[in-house]
Amino acid sequence: MLLHAGLARLRLPPAQFWGLTPIELAAALGAFAPRLRHLGQRDLAQLMAAYPDQDADERVARYAARPGDAR
């Protein structure tokens, strides 16, 4: 599995792969990257309040009024 990750995923030449320390390989594979936090229900509600959906009539009117549209 590590061999596949190094040679196929990272596309390292064999000599470079075998020259890596375990810490270097882990870092190259993203083991130390910060974990992303999933969007919670409260966060989603805040985003929905801050950026409400437009209704269809408002979108149609906005795009129909764009200058330079060759429709």
- Look at the pTM and tell me if it is higher than 0.75: no
CA 65 – CA 59 distance, rounded (Å): 10
Calculate the CA 46 to chain-centre distance.
Answer: 21
Residue type, 42: R
For the ranges 21-30, 31-40, 56-65, the one whose mean pLDDT is highest: 21-30
pLDDT > 70 fraction of the chain, expressed in percent and rounded: 89
Higher-scoring residue by pLDDT: 35, 23: 23
**Is residue 37 a contact partner of residue 14, using CB atoms and an 8 Å limit?**
no
Give the pLDDT of residue 56: 64
Q: Smallest Cα–Cα separation from 7: which of 15, 17, 21?
A: 17
Helices (H), strands (E): how many in the chain? Answer: 5, 0
Band of residue 22 on the pLDDT scale cut at 50, 70, 90 = very high
**40-64 tens-digit pLDDT:** 999 999 998 898 887 767 767 777 7
